Structure formats: C-alpha cells, structure tokens
Amino acid sequence: MKPAPFEYFAPASTDEALSLLAEHGYDAKVLAGGQSLIPMMNFRLVQPSILVDLNNIAELAYIREGDDGGLRIGAMTRHRQVETSPLAAERAPLIHVAMSKIAYPQVRTRGTFGGSVSHADPSAELPALSLALGGKFRLRSQRGERWVAAEDFFVSLFTTVLEPDELLVEASIPPMPPRSGWSLQEVARRPHDFALMGVAAVVTLNEKGVCDGARLVFISAGDRPIAAERAAESLKGQAPSSKVMEEAAEIASMQEIDPSSDIHATAEFRRHLANVLTRRALEQAFQRAAETKQEG
Amino acid sequence: MDRKLIGKRVVRNEDPRLLTGHAQFVDDVHLPGMLHAAFLRSEYAHARLLKVDVSKARQHPGVVAVFTAEDMGKDWFPGPPLVSPPPTVKDVVFHSRRQVPLAKDKIRHAGEAIAVVIAESRYIAEDAVEEIEVEYEPLPVVLDLEQALQPDSPLVHDDLESNLAARLSQKKGDYEAARRQADVIVKRRIVIERGAAAAMENRGIVAHWDAQSEHLTIWDTTQAPIPIRNGTAARLGLSEHQVRVIAPFIGGGFGPKIMMFYPEEMVIPWAAKQLNRPVKWIEDRRENFYATTQERGQIHDVEMALSRDGRVLGLKDDFLHDTGAYDPYGLTIPLNTQSHNMGGYDIRNYSSEFKVVFTNRIIATPVRGAGRPHGIFVIERMMDAAARELGMDPIELRKRNLIPPDAFPYEHQIIDQAFAPLILDSGNYKAVVDKALEIIGYEKFIKEEQPRLRREGKYVGIGVVPFIETTGVGPYEGARVTVEASGKVNVTTGIGTQGQGHFTSFAQIVAEQLGVKVSDVRIVTGDTSEFHWGTGTFASRGAVVAGSAVHAAAKSVRQKVLKLASKVLEAPEEELELEDGAVRVADIPQKSISLGELAVLANPLRGAVEPGTEPGLESTSYYGPQYGATAFGTHAMILEVDPQTMMIKIRRYVVAEDCGTVLNPLILEGQIHGGVSMGLGNAYYEKLHVDENGQLLNASFADYLLVSSTEMPRIEVAHLETPSPLNELGAKGVGEAGAIPVPALFAQALENAFYDRKLEVLEMPLSPNRLFELLREAQENEKSV
C-alpha cells in the first residue's frame, strides 16, 4: 500500500496553485486534507503523476459571515474548524450539526470543506447539504473566476463541473428564510461510517403555518446528491401532517432516488431507510420551523 | 491461601513503555543495509499458473532480487503440519495439504503469494511488483461448502478424489435411543460465516543472516517464537542454536499469528540468507485481508431431543467446516466445535460428524474462540428454539440442564483439541448464571421494565447465554527465575506476548513468592536466545501453563533463598519471612539480609563452594497440565433495536466469569472487554464479503466493519472463583472467553426484542440489512400461514 511515483508541488499561494494547475491540470491531482485521495493513492486506485498540495495556502482557510447574512467557508477550512465555530453554528446550523457525522475526529482534523465538495462522493454530507441549503461555490483558474450553484456543480460519481485547471476556493451558504426548519437524518453502520442512507430536509412555513417551500436532498441515494424535487413540491401549500409527510417520503423513496446495492445494503433496504428517514426528517424540520415561528 | 499480590488490581508493568511509544515492534527494527520485500499475490482465487515473467521487474532500478517458486529450487517445499495427526477414532479421514512458500503451477486462493521482489525500499518493491507479468488459466472456484462435496465439483487439490479434507465422528451414549424416548424433537440448520481477526498490528518479519558468525536472527510477529525457530532451522539446514527468533511487542495476536510458516515466514529468512543482507517485510492492511488466516465458516444440521419437562435427552450435530485452501492446522477448530456443542449442559447422548472441506479461500486457523463460538451458537440457538417449542422460560430450560456442581470432574467424553476425551475439571455453573441474572436484574426486567418499554413502543430484548471455554492445554511451558545482585528479579519464558499483560501477571506470581515489588520483576518473553523450550501463546494457555511454570520456578528460588538465608542469619527456615526485597527473622526485624546480598553470596567470585551446589539464586521449572482447565461464564445483555432502521443500542452488558483463581482483575477485565468487542463484530458487524469468483469485496477497514469504541457498551464484570484442581495457582484461561457467547447472546436478545414478530436467527453474523430481510421473511411466512 505505497503510492506509485509522483511529482509533488506545495504552492504557498492560490495564484501559485492556479499556475501549477494551468501547466499540469490534466495530469495533476489537488491534495487538500487527503482523507480520500491518499488512501486511493495508497491502494493505487489513482496514480496521479503530479500532486499539488494546498496545505501551505493559509489564505484558503477561513469561516466568515457572508454579505447575505449566510456563511463563507474557505476551501481549506478543516471540518474541525467548522465543527467548533460559533459563527457556523449560528449561520448554518445544518452544516454545523453535520460535522460530527463526518468520520471521526482524526479525519475531521485534516479533512477540508473544499476537498469534500470537490471529491463529490455521493455518500458524503457536505455535497448534499450544500445543495439542500442552496449553496454555491467559487471556482478560480488563471482564466478567471465563476460562481456555480451546488445544484449545477455535481455531475456524477466523483465528478463535478471543475475544469482540470480550476480550483474550488470558497463555498457560500445563504441563510435560511424566516420560519425555516431543518433536519439531517442518517443511518450509518457505525457513527463514523458513510451513511447507508441519509436525508437533509429544509422546510419553510408561511405565516399561516403552511409549507411555503421545501428541499429534500439524499445521501448515498444515487451517483450524486439527489434532490427529491417532486416530493418537495408535494409539500408546498400543505399544512404539515403525518399524511403529507408520508406521501412525500413515498414519492422520494420510490420514485426519485436511485440507490444501488452493495455489500452493506441492498437498494431495497436503502429505499426503505429513505422512506423512514424522510418522515423523521420532515417531522423534525417542520417542528423546528414551527418553533422559530413562535419565537419570531 | 492468603495472597498478597495475586488477585490484586496491579497496574501493568509494560504500560509506560507501550504508552510512551518506546516498546519495540517488528517494524521498529532498522538494520544497516536492510532491504524491503513486497509480494505479488494472485488476482484469481483458483487458476493454473502458466507463466511468471519477472524479467522486467528484475531490471527495475533499486530492485535487488525477484524470486519465484522455481528460483527456490530444492528449498521450495510446503510448511510443516502444525498439530499432531488427528485422534485415532473409527473411520477418521484426514488429508494433509499444506501451504507453500510461493505458488507453483496452481493458485488456490486469491492473494496467494506468487513472487517476491526485494528492493532498496518498499516503494520500489511495490512498483516492481506491478511489472511482473503472469499468465493465468482461471479455473471454476470452490466456495460453497455443500457444492464443494458434490461429485462434479472442481477440485482445490487435483490429487485428491474430492474436496473432503477430513471427516471425524464422535458419539457419547446413544442418540438414536434418546430420540425414540423424546417428547419433542427440534431441528434446525445453522450457518456461520467467516470474519477476520484484524489485529491492530499486521504481520511482519525481519531476517538478518550474519555470514561471519553463521547466525540467523529473525524478528517476527509470531505467537510461537520457539516453533518458528525450530522450523526455520530445519528448513534452512541450520542448528537450532544458529537461529534466534525474537517476537518483540506485538499488537495483538488473536490466533492467526500462531499459524507457523506463513509463506512470508518461509521466504524472507531464506531470501536474507541468499542475499546476505537483512530483509524486512511488513504486511499492509490489504495484504492482511488476503494473506492472513481467518475463521468461522461452518454449516450445521442440528437436532435436539427433549422430554416435555425440559430435559435435553440428546443432541445430534453434523456439520461442515471450511478449512480454505490448505489444512496445516489440522482439526483443532472443528474438534473445538464438536466439544463445545453441548455447552455446560449435562447431555448424556450425543452424536456428531464433521466434514472438513477444502475451498478456494484463505486458510482457516484458530481465531479467538477457535470453533468454540460455533459450538455455543449451535447449542444456545437450539436451547432457545426448544424453549419456544416447549413454552418454557429459556433460562429455566437452561438451568434444568446445567452440569450440577457435585458432578466435577465431569467426564465429558468428547475428544477435543488436546486429542483426549475432555474432562471438565471444576465448576459451579448455576452460581455463575445466577450471578449474571442478578446483576442484570432479569426478573425485574421481564416482569416490569420490558412490559413498560413495550407499551412505549420500544423494542428492547434481553439475552442470557452461558458457555464453557476449554483452556490451558499442554504440552508444556517453562520459566527461569533469577534473583540478580541488584535484588531485582529476572524471569524468562519461552512463550510470546501480544498484549496479554504477561509482564505484570507473571511478575505478580513471582513477587508473591519472593516478597519483592511487582515492578522489580522483569519479564522476558518471546526471545529464543533467552529461553530454549516452549510452545506459544494460544488456546488461552499463557496464564495457566506458563504462569504455573513461573510459579514453580519462583517457589524453587524461594527454597534456595530460605536455605541460604537460614545459614547466613543463623535461624531456622521456618522462622524466616520474605518481605520488602529482604529475608528477615520473624519478630527480629534487625536480623535480615537483602535478596541482592544473598544473590551475591550465592555466586561468589572467589573461594570454594560445596560440591553439587548450583550457583546463584536461580531455578528453571516446567509445567505440563494433565489435561486442560475449563472455564465457565455467562453473558447477559439488554438490547434495544430501532424496528425501522435496524440500528441497535446495547443498554446493559453483564459478564459473570469463573476462570478459577483471578491473577489480576484489571488484566482479566481487559481480556473480557476485548473478547466482547470481537464477539459483537461476529454478531452484527464483521463479515468478509466474497463474490462468486472468490474475490474479497471488503479488504479494508472502510468496508470491513470492525467494532470500535462507539459500538462498545459499558461492560459490568463479576468474578466467581472455582479454582482448577489441575494447577497450584488454581488458574484457568480467559483469553478467548469474551468472544465465545456473544453472537448467541445477540441473537437471543434480538428475538426477544422483536416479541411481536416470528423472528428466528439461525446465522451469524447478521447485519441491519440481513435483519431487515429476516423480518420481511418472517412477516411473509406469517401471512402465508
């Protein structure tokens, strides 16, 4: 379990990193926290000839308030920093609470926000949560800069719209509208494992307590984070009840997600779990939304 | 006996070294000029090996040598049989087929070593491995135990008529007669699958041939350094005194490290001698899944005959045992299963035949439990099925059948791994069961708490499983105890150590006799140049067998101390006491001499000594038990299950254990905790998934779900002590005990939790997915009824 030979660069600035990617993009892999890439290299599943290590780029590690009142997270911010950030807890509680579900403290101390999003593992939390919260990502290259919404970013298994010379440098998570509630429900064999199934729910109530909008995004349910749009649509204009939640869960789990079978769970069991977890997530999210309504 | 140190919660002598990272492990050995090895392993589980072309790899910069089976010439031959031939019972069949250093002509399991690259670094060695070209002719694989015995099955070993490796039947009483008298017959099929031992430290070996002194030194993660030394000497045509095997600190054994002469253990010392340079090979985690032995694959067809009032009249169990590609370890595992199939119950009529089957999987050798968890799973699952059939409380049924305390020594009659009819030496089984019931509050739980929880919609079940563990088998171990001039004591023994706390428990035994501090007793294990004779650490035998040898040697040194001190202090031996590192005359504290001073007097630099006198305060003793000691325990568990997600939470976990005299409760509890974690793995987490081609699908800790701290319950342990009459310490082993009853316990608690479904668990390990399927099946069966 030793990696194949590779050439190693450790740029100290984003510009330097972008210059290296402009030169070597197609042959290079970007090393962030290394919690997925390094094991894959050690197994020789990936054999990049060039490694561009971002760990010396201090300017990419930060958590700050966004102009919209949301959260801006630099690509090299460690999960552990987000986990312990009061600002993250206040502005993006769904992201904050998810941190403790990502692997275990050793991994979270190294793993980065940008690394997890760019790796685009459909079993990971951050791609799904970025999508559920309507987040977007700032991508830079020597050619320029662009913002891409999370819903347009993830293409398929481990594949995003990132060009070989591009680097994801920042994530922007907008604040939730007033009277919103959220929930993250997961089933994992052990707390630190990738979820067999997971779902993030974000719901918003209007002043009458009727659902104004909802997002349901599933983890380990397809080749990328899967947003169950029809299920979310079915909730709109409805007062939350077990019946509407059950219907939404049925639509999402039977029609919208596309889980596969592997050694840990069959697709059938995953659909069953998706159904159970959707109901639980909606129940909790609507309850939270109702509570903020009372507070407001 | 009044004991000052034995039985005390003494903190471990070895911990400062281990916890500060100063303990030496094999990978810590760095020698000048040392080379590194990497193995090419077969992609196929079953294939003819048509061609191995290593020419490109040999030219890779930094590669020193590449060896294949052909390159080994006359030095290429299989490993030795590791246990004696099977017991001579009627109609026994045994075909011995042992693993080879490097595969020649045919591949028999995925991961079998084909060639070794030896290079300046492990990186280079692995790069060069990728340049070896192999032509395979894939063959149909043998995986399913029943299909393997069909006449049209492909053969793992072409020279045999079938894949039958062994067959052995044992009988006690007359099962057929018992069956005719029975009111109730319960029949089940029980399937047990493989898991990995997954020690924290993988295997590793460093070999150093010193051509000037013609001496070979090997550092090896082995549980049995002396047999490795003897076998290596034999393989290389050296004297046993030319080979030194050091088994330094080892990060867990759990059985597979007793498998002597893994291919790497045959190849690396040979290569070091060929190249005249030190060679290191450290197994990586992926290799560990492909190249280290595993255990537990069996299929049982069981039948239990009972009377209406809940007496088990007889038991019949015919089973298949998966030995994998080879069977170097003989019949130890299935014999253990066969001898644990009756648990701690007084069953008079028993009939069992096992067939051992060759398959295209990694060799099966003992893993903590070694066939015993299978036997306990079988009997305990049958007990629960029978209790349901009889409409009887499952605990009551068990109590009615336990061996009573006045029946010891109990003639069990079934031949076990010691190759003699098993005798259960001592025990008070019902007391242990009662202790577990009392701590977990069984009556209160089923009468009050469980009904309340069920009303709240919770699925919470209780399980209680008793078990036996045969331990402390022969042949023997030895120890040498020496009082040094400093007054400190040195103890050497031949067994190895892999975390069992020998540096403390043996020190306690010696300190008890010599009146020194436990921390002043230094223990040396696992270095063949320090002690020549012995076998190894396995079969829960370290404390019993080596511990007894240490005890005997310490007593003998005590006699020497007293004899000499009596002369020096001019006082009769009976008036002397050993206390605080000195000998003193009772009631006259100023009349004393330190052990160090006595040690100097016993080894004078000048002057004459009496003829026949041995120098020093030193003694060597050996202990070989007449037969093994058998421990007994009972585990109890309260388990909560989310009936929708199948996620579990263990609310309570209780262990009542009787392993005879407790040497150190701290160490004992550690053994139990570790065992329970492995047992939980076997129950609900750990499974080796193999596809239809014999390829392992989860050869990493990302996908092989080892139980971690987040899954472990708090474990409440109670000790009962029924000393073994077989050794002076009264000790019994406990190394494997923790793992043995857990899958059976888990299954029972699960069935009890799903009180409103007709769930029956007849397999291990389960998983949330499998439990979901079983509940579906139960639901469908109910509908169709």
What's the CA dihedral at B448, B454, B456, B458 to 10 degrees? 120
Phi, psi for residue A51 in degrees, rounded to 5: -120, 125
What are residue B524's DSSP bridge partners?
A: B492
User: At residue B32, what is the residue type?
Assistant: P
Residue among A3, A263, A276 minimizing CB distance to B645: A276
Amino acid in the structure at residue B579: E
Burial class (CB in 10 A: 0-12, 13-18, 19+), A107: middle
d(CA B3, CA B1): 6
- The residue of chain A nearest to residue B121, with distances taken between CA atoms, is A2
CA distance B510 to chain A (A): 42
Instruction: Note whether B15-22+474-623 and B425-471+628-785 share their fold.
Output: yes
pLDDT of residue B82: 85
Using one digit for the tens of pLDDT, what is the confidence trace for B659-698? Answer: 999 999 999 999 999 999 999 999 999 999 999 999 999 9
**Chain A residues near residue B645 by CB distance under 8 angstroms:** 187, 273, 276-277
pLDDT of residue B785: 66
Residue A212 contacts residue A286 (beta carbons within 8 Å) = no
Question: Do B358 and B156 meet the contact criterion of CB atoms below 8 Å apart?
Answer: yes
Torsion over CA of B396, B471, B497 and B245, rounded to 10 degrees? -150
B473: closest CA of chain A, how far (Å): 37
Q: Taking a contact as any Cβ pair under 8 Å apart, which residues of chain B between 275 and 334 contact chain A?
A: 284-286
CATH number of the A180-295 domain: 3.30.390.50
Residue with structure tokens 């029949």?
B187
Q: In chain A, whose CA is at the least distance from the CA of B39? A: A1
Could you tell me the two tokens for A165? 């010379």
When the candidates are 3.90.1150.10, 3.40.50.300, 3.40.50.720, 3.30.365.10, the CATH number that belongs to B425-471+628-785 is 3.30.365.10
If residue B648 lies in a helix (H) or strand (E), which one and from where to where? strand B648-658
pLDDT for position A296: 46
CB B509 within 8 A of CB B550: yes
Q: For B349-373, what is the mean pLDDT?
A: 97
What number of C-beta contacts closer than 8 Å exist between A and B?
Answer: 56
What pairing do the DSSP bridges indicate for beta strands B459-471 and B421-424? unpaired
Query: Which of B282, B645, B697 is most worth mutating to test chain A (most A CB atoms within 10 A of its CB)?
Result: B645
Which of B286, B702, B705 is nearest residue A1 as measured by Cβ atoms? B286
Q: What is the ipTM of this complex?
A: 0.95
| Residues B565-579 pLDDT 10s | 999 999 999 999 999
> For residue A293, what pLDDT is reported?
59
Q: Are the beta carbons of A146 and A139 closer than 8 angstroms?
A: yes
CB contact (8 A) between residue A189 and residue B286: no
Work out the percent of chain B whose per-residue pLDDT is above 70.
Answer: 99
Backbone phi, psi, residue B576, to 5°:
-95, 145
Render A30-54 in DSSP notation, one character per residue. EESS-TTHHHHHHTTS---SEEEE-
State residue A294's pLDDT score.
60
pLDDT of residue A130: 97
> Does the beta-carbon distance from A2 to B689 stay under 8 Å?
no
Task: Determine contact: B779 vs chain A, CB below 8 A.
Answer: no
Inter-chain touch B702–A272, beta carbons under 8 Å: no
Instruction: Give me the residue from A5, A187, A263 closest to B689, CB to CB.
Output: A263
H/E element, B206: strand B204-210
Can you read off the two tokens belonging to residue B213? 């002194």
Percent of chain B with pLDDT over 90: 91
Residues of A in contact with B700 (CB under 8 A): 39, 43
Chain A residue nearest residue B687, CA to CA: A263
Q: Is B420 on the interface with A (CB under 8 A)?
A: no
Q: Do residue B697 and residue A263 have CB atoms under 8 angstroms apart?
A: yes
pLDDT at residue B179 greater than cutoff 80: yes
Identity of residue A175: P
Q: From the list A190, A269, A276, which residue is nearest B710 (CB)?
A: A190
Cβ–Cβ below 8 Å for B769 and A190: no
How many Cα atoms occupy the beta-carbon half-sphere of B781 within 13 Å?
10
The structural domains of chain B, with segments of one domain joined by +, span 15-22+474-623, 425-471+628-785
Contacts of A5 in chain B (CB under 8 A): 123, 127
d(CA B122, CA B703): 25
Radius of gyration of chain B (CA): 28
Distance from CA of A288 to the nearest CA of B (A): 23
Residues from chain B contacting residue A264 (CB–CB below 8 Å) = 703, 767, 769
Contact B127 A273 (CB under 8 A): no
Asked whether residue B1 carries a pLDDT value surpassing 60, the answer given is no
Q: Which of A1, A263, A272 sits opposite B285 (nearest CB)?
A: A1
Torsions phi, psi of B667, nearest 5? Answer: -70, -40
Nearest CA in chain B to A271: B645
* Token pair belonging to B135: 């032509």
The alpha carbon of residue B114 and the mean position of all alpha carbons in its chain are separated, in whole angstroms, by: 28
Contact A182, A176 (CB under 8 A): yes
Min Cα–Cα distance to chain B from A292, Å: 29
Start and end residues for every CATH 3.30.465.10 domain found in chain A: 58-173
Helix (H, G, I), strand (E, B) or coil at B539: coil
Mutation target to probe the A interface, by most A beta carbons within 10 A, among B647, B769, B772 is B769
Question: Contact A269/B772, CB-based, under 8 Å?
Answer: yes
Nearest-Cα residue of chain B relative to residue A261:
B769
Contacts of B772 in chain A (CB under 8 A): 269, 272
Cβ of B39 under 8 Å from any chain A Cβ? Answer: no
- Mapped onto helix, strand or coil, the DSSP state of residue B170 is strand
- B609-636 b/e (C-beta count within 10 Å ≥ 16 → b): eeeeeeeebbbbbbbebebbbbbbbbbb
Mean pLDDT of B33-44: 97
Q: CA-nearest residue of chain A to B773?
A: A269
Inter-CA distances, B674 with A71, B197, B571, B734, Å = 44, 12, 50, 11
Return d(Cα B291, Cα B116) in angstroms, integer.
14
CB B42 within 8 A of CB B110: yes
pLDDT (average), residues B6-14: 95
Taking only the tens place, the pLDDT of each residue in B607-635 is 777 777 788 999 999 999 989 999 999 99
Q: Please choose, from the candidates B731, B756, B740, the residue with its C-alpha nearest in 3D space to the C-alpha of residue B450.
A: B756
Q: Do A263 and B284 touch (CB under 8 A)?
A: no
Kindly report the CATH class assigned to A58-173.
alpha beta
DSSP track, A125-156: HHHHHHHHTT-EEEEEETTEEEEEEHHHHEEE
| H-type alpha helices, A68-188 | 79-83, 86-91, 93-98, 105-110, 113-119, 125-132, 150-153
- Give the three-state DSSP class for B594: strand
**End-to-end Cα separation, chain B, in angstroms:** 63
Q: Which residues of B touch A103 (CB under 8 A)?
A: none
pLDDT, residue B745, reads: 98
From the options 3.40.50.170, 3.20.20.70, 3.30.230.70, 3.30.43.10, give the CATH code of A7-53.
Answer: 3.30.43.10
Q: Residue B321 belongs to what H/E stretch?
A: strand B312-324
CB contact under 8 A, B705 and A189: yes
Distance of alpha carbon B127 from alpha carbon A44, whole angstroms: 10
Looking at chain A, the number of H-run helices and the number of E-run strands are 12, 14
For residue B466, what are its two tokens?
């008793």
Contact check, Cβ <8 Å, B647/A187: yes
Q: For residues A81 and A86, give the distance between their C-alpha atoms in angstroms, rounded to a whole number.
A: 10
> Residue B2 — pLDDT band, cuts 50, 70, 90?
low
Q: Is the peptide bond before B475 cis (omega within 30 degrees of 0)?
A: yes
Closest residue of A to B285, CA-based?
A1
CB–CB of A272 and B772 under 8 A?
A: yes
Chain A: closest CA distance from residue B290 (Å):
13
Given a contact cutoff of 8 angstroms between Cβ atoms, the answer to whether B374 and B343 are in contact is no
B778 phi/psi in degrees, rounded to 5: -60, -40
* Tokens coding B221: 């993660």
**Higher per-residue pLDDT: B3 or A186:** A186
The predicted model gives B148-168 an average pLDDT of: 97
**C-alpha angle B279/B282/B284, rounded to 5°?**
150
- Stretches in chain A below the pLDDT threshold 70: 293-296
Contacts of B769 in chain A (CB under 8 A): 264-266, 269
**CA–CA–CA angle B685, B112, B35 (5° rounding):** 105
| Contact of B527 with B533, CB cutoff 8 Å | no
Name the segment(s) of chain A with CATH classification 3.30.43.10: 7-53
Range A27-33 contact pairs with CB under 8 angstroms and sequence separation of 24 or more? A28/A52, A28/A164, A30/A54, A30/A118, A30/A167, A31/A55, A32/A75, A32/A76, A32/A111, A32/A112, A32/A114, A32/A115, A32/A118, A33/A78, A33/A79, A33/A107, A33/A110, A33/A111, A33/A112, A33/A115, A33/A116
Q: How far apart are CA B59 and CA A185, in angstroms?
A: 55
Asked if residues B672 and B715 have their Cβ atoms less than 8 Å apart, the reply is yes
The CATH code belonging to domain B15-22+474-623 is: 3.30.365.10
pLDDT attached to residue B672: 96
b/e map of B721-748 (b: 16 or more CB within 10 Å)? ebbbebbbbbbbbbbbbbbbbbbbbbbb
pLDDT digits 0-9 by tens, B716-754: 999 999 999 999 999 999 989 999 999 999 999 999 999
Beta strands in B45-160 (DSSP E): 47-53, 63-68, 93-94, 106-107, 113-119, 133-138
- Residues from chain A that touch B707, judged by Cβ atoms under 8 A, are 190
Residue B709: phi and psi, rounded to 5, are -60, -30
- pLDDT score recorded for residue A295: 54
